[in-house]
A and B are shown apart, each in its own frame.
Chain A
Amino acid sequence: MNIRLAWARGVFVAGAVALATMLTLPPAAAEAPTKSPPEKSPLRWGADSEGGAPYICKDPQDVNRYVGFEVDLAAALEKPLGRRIEFVQYDFKSLTAGVRRGDFDFAMNGVEDTPDRRKALRLSRPYYVYTLQLVARADEKRFDSLEACKKAGGVVGTLEDTAAERLLDQMGVEKKVYGSQVEPYRDLEIGRIDAVLLDLPIATYYAKPNEKLKFVGPARNPGYYVIAFRRDQEALAREVDKAIVELAKSGELQRIYEKWQIWNDEQKRLLDSGVSDFLTESGKQWNFARYFPLLLKGAVVTVELTFLSMLVAAILGLPIALMRLYGNWPMQLAATAYVEFFRGIPVLLLLFFLYYGLPVIAENFHWTIGLKLSPMTAAILGFGLNYAAYQAEIYRAGIASIPVGQWEAGASLGMTQLHTFRRIILPQAVRVILPPSTNDLVALFKDTSIVSIIAIEELTKEYQILAKSSLKYLEIGFVTAMLYLVMSVPLGYLSRYLERRWGKGR
């Protein structure tokens, strides 16, 4: 029902767009290569031909024509789709906005597959795997990788709103952003910038033939070029998906890419995998086998964090409890203050303070030690301090629950107070202390999910990352919840078992 409806709508929209096209556009705008005149209205393809080799650019031999591997791809798609494809010139940066506005039927111009685009648009299956290639001047000796370039303080040129730009931002490399792909290489050549990071096809076309430039390191950070449709054009998108698979199977894609010298092993892998099951939704790339190991990795961090924090809390809690029970009044006051303070403030605030606040304090007071705790150290310390307050209270209650007669029995046998505490009181108190401590451990286990604010990728953070990249909020959320339960439920049972075993029968 829904699919039919969507299909009908797609046809309607396509028809309306076609009508509008005929009424408003001069015929000269339709410059895409044509083969056989199809019966249906032409599809309108948005791309930016300005300095756009090898994707699409004006043919130097005939300025009224366009060339590029995407031009060839569009031509190849016409046959399986049974429709003509017309090129619409559109500013690169606004391509996705243009799709959504309905200024053309689809965008195909090195559009990268990103989670936010998946959310806003219907993306086709990938038709090309891009990688990012760093290019420097041929005589460059200061660096042999992007990391080294960053260390050397190099400025890297790139295109605006691309995966390359995002990578530079992520790594904190100083960048210079350009509007088209010609200028960065020119600026590099004349020494205005130190390197250029762009998609391999661009580098292959603009930098490889230039003797003054060289490729630095292997291409990195692969991603997919996809065709972007409006979300309501599911039917059309499926047709295009199918057509891409057909072109891959027939070897047409490889022929095009080889012609443009952008064929490589990555494409081979993409097309090989595509032939079998690529028609399924793009989100399914994140299947269980792919995201589960990442979730497990997060779970390991969660467990590590929980147990190390509990260890700190368990050790720190005892002297606090003892000070409160047996200390003189200043010790009792200090211990009480500790418990009230750390029990009373949100652990989130504490984490913020330890991670972001301490370095600032150290700086302001010109301390020699920087106090720049690693995220893990800050988290373990934060939870340790917080839970030590709870543990201290549990210890205190446990120790106080042992009858004073036990102390007297120990004393009457000539034991010292310390000996009585260690051999007689503490072992009994542990039986009282353990069940609520296990409870605390379960609580802490779940509390650790807030540490993502100080950049630790534990289970919940890993879930957020994966859910955003795959949009499988429900499925991955369910698996994440299961992971938490698999770990916390046994702890809960252990707590109840200990309570049954030791809670009574004194």
Chain B
Amino acid sequence: MTGNMQVVISHVTKRFNSHTVLNDVSLTIEAGQTVALIGPSGAGKSTLLRSINGLNSFDEGEIRVGSHTLLPNRSHHACPGARQVRRVFGMIFQDFQLFPHLTALQNVMDAPRYVLGLSKADAEKRAMKLLDRVGLAAKAAAYPQELSGGQKQRVAIARAMAMEPRGLLCDEITSALDPELKNEVLSVLEDLKREGLTLILVTHEIGFARRAADRVVVLAEGRIIEDGPPHEVLDNPKAPRTRQFLSQILV
């Protein structure tokens, strides 16, 4: 999986009945970049993120991920070509979505084993290494309901990483966590960033965005209204809508 792993979103529009969720969105993200998508709720951040992974369809435009292309699809089913794209980007959800009937270790090793076709021993080795990396080697045998929110999210990251993606799509992954648990998850992300992964995050953690993001993209009403390095967008926003939004969340 070499080559240019750029993400190119061109003129993507998505409507839900009469409501336009994404309105002619174009965005190019270079490999290795960390991009924070921020904006008021209902702005279309999550929809855009999920579209990159083919979990949402869209009505117009095109999304290219490396050499794979996602095309618009009128039905509500996943976009064609989604499976290839998903090999490039893993996805982390706000509510973890660990498999409750499997242990932490099984959660992580299941896809490598059955999707990539690794042997049980290899899959287990890979999974243990990743659990160790997110600091949860000791919890390998635990079931999700025995883990704290922060631990669950770290297992979810390990699970996504087990597929050896080139990047992660993170959909408000700390929103469901108590403040003291957020940092354990965010520090894992910073670690992955250092490794060179492309990270696209929908987040409300402005502090984290300022510290870790290369780029902050502000969405409102389905459009990109501001796009730039964190110190510009967060400290010196040009658009009034951005200022309004930031003033609301930075009370």
Contacts and interface: CB of A to CB of B under 8 A. Distances in A.
B82 interface: yes
26 contacts: A403-B97, A405-B93, A405-B95, A405-B97, A408-B55, A409-B98, A411-B82, A411-B86, A412-B55, A412-B86, A412-B91, A413-B86, A413-B110, A413-B159, A413-B160, A414-B83, A414-B87, A414-B115, A415-B111, A415-B115, A416-B83, A419-B114, A419-B115, A423-B110, A424-B99, A505-B145
Given A419-B115, A431-B101, A505-B145, A412 B90 contact: yes
Nearest to B92: A412
A330 B98 CA distance: 35
A405 B100 CA distance: 12
Contact of A427 (B54, B97, B101, B115): B101
Contact of A409 (B54, B78, B99): B99
A406 B159 CA distance: 13
A347 B78 CA distance: 43
Interface residues of B, number: 25
B205 to A, nearest CB: 22
Contacts of B82: 411
A139 to B, nearest CB: 78
Contacts of B91: 408-409, 412
Contacts of A506: 100, 145
B174 interface: no
Interface string A407-435: 01101111110010001100110010000
Given A411-B55, A412-B55, A406 B111 contact: no
A284 to B, nearest CB: 57
Interface in B95-154: 95, 97-101, 110-111, 114-115, 145
Contacts of B53: 412
B78 A413 contact: no
B100 A413 contact: no
Given A412-B160, A431-B101, 10 more contacts: A405-B97, A406-B97, A408-B55, A411-B86, A412-B55, A413-B90, A413-B163, A414-B111, A423-B114, A427-B101
A315 B55 CA distance: 32
Interface string B28-67: 0000000000000000000000000111000000000000
- Specify which of A423, A505, A506 lies most central, judged by the most chain B CB atoms within 10 Å of its CB: A423
A239 B90 CA distance: 96
A412 B86 CA distance: 6
A419 B110 CA distance: 11
Interface in A450-506: 505-506
A409 B111 CA distance: 11
A406 B100 CA distance: 10
Nearest to A428: B101
Interface residues of A, number: 19
Contacts of A408: 55, 91, 93, 97
A409 B86 contact: no
Nearest to B84: A414
Judged by DSSP, the binding face of A is: helix
A17 B114 CA distance: 95
Nearest to B106: A423
A401 B95 CA distance: 16
A406 B99 contact: yes
Contacts of A431: 101
A162 to B, nearest CB: 68
Contacts of A409: 91, 93, 97-99
Contacts of A423: 110, 114
B70 to A, nearest CB: 14
Nearest to A419: B114
Nearest to A422: B114
A406 B54 CA distance: 15
Contacts of B78: 411
Nearest to A402: B100
A410 to B, nearest CB: 8
Interface string A383-414: 00000000000000000000101101101111
Interface string B8-41: 0000000000000000000000000000000000
Contacts of B145: 505-506
Contacts of A405: 93, 95, 97
A140 B149 CA distance: 91
A415 B83 CA distance: 8
B86 A414 contact: yes
Nearest to B94: A405
A136 B83 CA distance: 84
- Specify which of A411, A416, A505 lies most central, judged by the most chain B CB atoms within 10 Å of its CB: A411
Contacts of A416: 83
Given A405-B95, A408-B55, A408-B93, A415 B101 contact: no
- Specify which of A409, A419, A428 lies most central, judged by the most chain B CB atoms within 10 Å of its CB: A409
Nearest to A502: B101
Contacts of A424: 99
A405 B91 CA distance: 11
A367 to B, nearest CB: 44
A415 B114 contact: yes
A505 B146 CA distance: 9
A413 B55 contact: no
- Specify which of B82, B101, B159 lies most central, judged by the most chain A CB atoms within 10 Å of its CB: B101
B60 to A, nearest CB: 23
A413 B169 CA distance: 12
Contacts of A414: 83, 86-87, 111, 115, 163
A413 B159 CA distance: 8
A51 B100 CA distance: 87
Interface in A428-454: 428, 431
A505 B82 CA distance: 33
A228 B68 CA distance: 97
Contacts of B111: 413-415
The 6 closest A-B pairs by CB, nearest first: A412-B91, A409-B97, A413-B111, A405-B97, A414-B115, A427-B101
A138 to B, nearest CB: 79
Contacts of B163: 413-414
Nearest to A505: B145
Nearest to B156: A409
A484 to B, nearest CB: 34
Nearest to B113: A423
Contacts of A415: 111, 114-115
A408 B56 CA distance: 10
- Specify which of B55, B91, B95, B111 lies most central, judged by the most chain A CB atoms within 10 Å of its CB: B111
Contacts of A412: 53, 55, 86, 90-91, 160
